[in-house]
Amino acid sequence: MLSSIIFLPLVAGALLAVPAVPDRVARWTWIAVTAAEVVLVGVLIARYETPADGDLAFEERARWIPSVNSSWHVGVDGLSVPLLALTAVVFSACAVYGLREDRRPRQHAALFLALQSTCMGLFAAQDLIVFFVFFDLSIVGMYAAIAGWGHGRDAGRSALQFFLYTFLGSLALLLGFIGLYLAADPHTFDIPELVAAAPLQDHPVAGGFVLAALLLGLAVKTPTIPFHTWLPPAHTDASAIGSAVLAAVLLKMGTYGFVRIAMPAMPDAWRGAAWVVLAVGIASVLYGALVALAQTDVKRMIAYTSINHMGYVVLAVGAAGLLGTGTAARELAVTGAVTQMVSHGLITGALFLLAGVLHDRTGSYAMRDYGGLARSAPVWSGLFAVAAFASLGIPAFSGFIAEFQVFAGSIGTTAWAAIALPGILITAALFLRALQLLVTGLPGGRSIGFSDVRAVEAVPVTGLLLLSLAIGVLPWLLLDLITPASAVLVDLVGR
């Protein structure tokens, strides 16, 4: 079941790589496969029953490299199922949006299908080497997506910067994995075994170094301050769906690594580093929001709000490492963090797709070039307004549920987390300012003659926003999945 979900897109992508396939077939195959993935993940969720503490559902295991105790081990729990669903949804939205892509559509579809496999594989991996393989391959795929289909003169340069940064991160991660492997007795790369053994529990110095390597690797991918500098150029020069996938799915790989590997396998070291993580989270929240406020380019602005939103996740996982107060607050923080991963994926994916429409029509992202889009493009303006309000955390959307839990949990653990609260205010200000510049007033500049969104653009965005609304109105749908897993995680960190 799980393996077929992971490999279906890859196989389809490989078939599309054959030159004889016509472009039209490639486009519709892409949509069909991503739709099948959504159905498969839906079936998976329908049949999912919360596993016993520390166990996994839909577990599969096959021999791979027995000499280093590494196997093809996949399985899911409440931390990974939401992200698998997010991946399936975002990629199918991108497939629909991608109908409009006329530059080498066959290769484009093949590349994104392969990329989808790496994301699915990463969120299901229960072996460090399998995790690493998918982590690295996602970098290669995203590099090709930015370099091959990005726009702007500097797409190649941004792609290279993205690759170098995240590859450095992945090597740090590999060092950390090797450290964990060597510390375990017997040596193993299996994540559940490592979590059960917590091998570096009584080795503060070695544990500190290994955790530092893991943190560095995951922080680059997330990205948090000060490793975020690759993100704005990568987003600015990537295509609309490249940005959407990068922000909605690939950034989650970093924060997912925290909750899947770093926290449960190294509880002792995590508690030691919790204040540092918390501080980095607060800094990311505030800095990301402030820099986003200063942007004049709408896509760069959304990119910086990603740093701000991912900062909430970092803040929450940092707070989860602070013992002393009740476990309820820390569980709430972790649940909020996972909810935020999903929520940010949906909302930011929609925002980037909407920004892509701007560039598609006029070739400009500069907010000053527009104005009065509400008249010339009412549907676009409506969708953008909804996405902007969802992103700034208005109730009834997923962002509110996530941020509420993050702050309730974190401040419940330490009052210092409240320093990050102004981040919400600044985010609200910057989105309102963007709305004012782009949407309100009389049409001017490039808004004149701006044609409204077409169906292939509106449908995926609407789908993503409706899901965000569904989580906002009926949060228990998602929270019932996550809460048991975050309780287990908080238990493990408290060891």
Partner 1 sequence: MEQSPLALLPELCLLGGAVVTLLAGSFLPRQRQWVARLVAVAALLVAGVSAALAFPRDAPLGGVTETVFGAFVLDTATGVTRLVVVAAVLLVIGLGVDELAGQARESETYTLLLLGGLGAIVLAATDDLLTLAVGFLLASIPVYALVGMVRSPGAAEAALKTYLLGALSGILLLLGATVLSGIAGGTAYADLATGLAAAPAAAVAVGALAVLAGLLFEAGGVPLHQWVPDATQGAGTAAAAFLTTVPKLGALVAAARLVDVLPGSLPWPLLVGLLAAATMTLGNLAALAQTDARRLLGWSTVSQVGYLLMPVAVVTSTSAATPALLVYLAGYAVTNLTAFAVLAAVPGARSLTDFRGLARQRPALAAALVISLLSLVGTPPTAVFLGKLTVFTAAWDGGLAWLVVVAAVNTVVSLFYYLRWLVEAFRPGEPAATAGWPHAAAVAGALGVLAVGLGAGLVTALVGDGTLG
Kindly tell me which residue out of 79, 110, 142, 147 binds partner 1, with binding defined by CB under 8 A.
147
The residue range among 86-94, 174-182, 324-332, 342-350 that interacts with partner 1, by the rule CB under 8 A, is: 174-182
Q: In this complex, which beta carbon is closest to partner 1, that of residue 17 or of residue 36?
A: 17
Question: x/- binding map, residues 224-253, to partner 1, per CB under 8 A?
Answer: ------------------------------
**Cα(210)–Cα(176) distance, integer angstroms:** 5
The residue range among 30-38, 160-168, 241-249, 450-458 that interacts with partner 1, by the rule CB under 8 A, is: 160-168
Contact 330, 409 (CB under 8 A): yes
Sign of CA dihedral 441, 444, 445, 449: positive
Binding to partner 1 (CB under 8 A) within 413-432 occurs at none
Q: In this complex, which beta carbon is closest to partner 1, that of residue 151 or of residue 330?
A: 151
- Asked if 394 touches partner 1 (CB under 8 A), the answer is no
Give Cα 293 distance to the centre of its chain. 22
Q: In this complex, which beta carbon is closest to partner 1, that of residue 63 or of residue 324?
A: 63
Least distance from C-beta 129 to partner 1, angstroms?
Answer: 7
Least distance from C-beta 172 to partner 1, angstroms?
Answer: 7
The residue range among 74-82, 130-138, 223-231, 330-338 that interacts with partner 1, by the rule CB under 8 A, is: 130-138
Instruction: Tell me the number of residues near partner 1 by CB under 8 A.
Output: 30
**Cα(470)–Cα(477) distance, integer angstroms:** 9
Q: In this complex, which beta carbon is closest to partner 1, that of residue 160 or of residue 379?
A: 160
Contact 163, 105 (CB under 8 A): no
**Cα(397)–Cα(386) distance, integer angstroms:** 9
CB count within 10 Å of CB 425 equals 11
Kindly tell me which residue out of 14, 38, 100, 156 binds partner 1, with binding defined by CB under 8 A.
156
Q: How far is CA 149 from CA 107, 108, 112, 167, 457, in A?
A: 10, 8, 11, 20, 18
Question: x/- binding map, residues 12-51, to partner 1, per CB under 8 A?
Answer: -------x--------------------------------
The residue range among 165-173, 293-301, 330-338, 463-471 that interacts with partner 1, by the rule CB under 8 A, is: 165-173
Maximum distance among all Cα pairs of the chain, rounded to whole angstroms? 70
Cis peptide before 9 (omega within 30 of 0): no
Q: In this complex, which beta carbon is closest to partner 1, that of residue 179 or of residue 356?
A: 179
Cis peptide before 186 (omega within 30 of 0): yes
Q: Say which residues have a Cβ less than 8 Å from residue 296's Cβ, sequence separation at least 6.
A: 366, 367, 368
The residue range among 33-41, 170-178, 383-391, 413-421 that interacts with partner 1, by the rule CB under 8 A, is: 170-178
The residue range among 131-139, 406-414, 424-432, 445-453 that interacts with partner 1, by the rule CB under 8 A, is: 131-139
Structure tokens at 62: 């096959």
Kindly tell me which residue out of 35, 36, 178, 419 binds partner 1, with binding defined by CB under 8 A.
178
Nearest of 124, 87, 148 to residue 346 by alpha carbon = 87
Nearest of 216, 367, 374 to residue 292 by alpha carbon = 367
**Cα(363)–Cα(361) distance, integer angstroms:** 6
Nearest of 309, 310, 312, 331 to residue 320 by alpha carbon = 331
- Asked if 163 touches partner 1 (CB under 8 A), the answer is yes
Q: Say which residues have a Cβ less than 8 Å from residue 80's Cβ, sequence separation at least 6.
A: 123, 124, 256, 260
The residue range among 8-16, 90-98, 127-135, 275-283 that interacts with partner 1, by the rule CB under 8 A, is: 127-135
**Cα(125)–Cα(261) distance, integer angstroms:** 11
Kindly tell me which residue out of 97, 181, 287, 304 binds partner 1, with binding defined by CB under 8 A.
181
Kindly tell me which residue out of 32, 39, 65, 455 binds partner 1, with binding defined by CB under 8 A.
65
Binding site for partner 1 (CB under 8 A): 19, 63-68, 70, 129, 132-133, 136-137, 140, 147-148, 156, 160, 163-164, 167-168, 171-172, 174-175, 178-179, 181-182
